[in-house]
Structure 1
Amino acid sequence: MKKLIYLLILTLGTTSCSSDDENINNTYAFIAEYSTKVTVGGVIGISDRTFKIGEKYTGVNQGNNVITLRIAEHSELNNDCPNSWCYQELLDVPSEFLKLIE
């Protein structure tokens, strides 16, 4: 009987946990040009980057009108950062520059 009660409590506990829908990776497109500095690594280091209207990236809505976009995939170069070859993978962008692609 105790095992049945523990199973019931465990089942209720896991089903009552809700996922935060705001933290799901979505696709976003730029609706206005956005310029910023990004770390590109290597000899160049930091570079100015302008994201054009229509460029699409996956991202997470962080709330407070900020969306974190993945602008580069992770690779072995970024495993032991910081070093001179590390590059920027994520970028926080104000949500006014982006729209959610359904």
Structure 2
Amino acid sequence: MKKLICFLILTLGMFACSSAEEKASKNFEFTKEYTTQITVGGFVGVRDRTFKVGETFKGKNNGETIEIRIAEHSELNDKCPNSWCYQELLSVPKEYLKLKE
């Protein structure tokens, strides 16, 4: 009986964690152009990137800023820092983004 209760608690815990993660990540759309430097890795290193009005990214609201995912994770970023690492996340001031319904 004790093992069954432990199993149920672990199972419920896993479902609770995964659903919270999904709820935290929402779609945000740029309402104004935003230019910043991002790390692209390799020979290029750092470059300016302008996000256009209407571009949409998944992100999380952190209060003052919204952290958006600008690139998916890959094996290149597993053993950072190295010269091939690139930027996956970017913090953007709230006034440049709106929640896309």
Q: Give yes or no for TM over 0.5.
A: yes
Question: In the TM superposition, what is the alpha-carbon distance from 1:20 to its structure 2 partner?
Answer: 7.5
- CA distance, structure 2, for counterparts of residue 99 and residue 89 of structure 1: 20
Match of 2:41 in 1: 41
Query: RMSD over aligned Cα, in angstroms?
Result: 2.1
Q: Give the match's secondary structure for 1:43.
A: coil
- CA distance, structure 1, for counterparts of residue 20 and residue 61 of structure 2: 11
Aligned length, in residue pairs: 88
Give structure 1 regions of 4+ aligned residues with deviation exceeding 4 angstroms: none
Unaligned runs of 5+ in 2: 14-18
- Percent identity over the alignment is 57
- CA distance, structure 1, for counterparts of residue 20 and residue 73 of structure 2: 24
Q: Give the match's secondary structure for 2:62.
A: strand
Unaligned runs of 5+ in 1: none
Match of 1:53 in 2: 53
Question: What is the TM-score of this pair, normalised by structure 1?
Answer: 0.77
Structure 1 residues 47 and 33, CA gap change in structure 2 (3 angstroms):
same
Question: What is the TM-score of this pair, normalised by structure 2?
Answer: 0.78
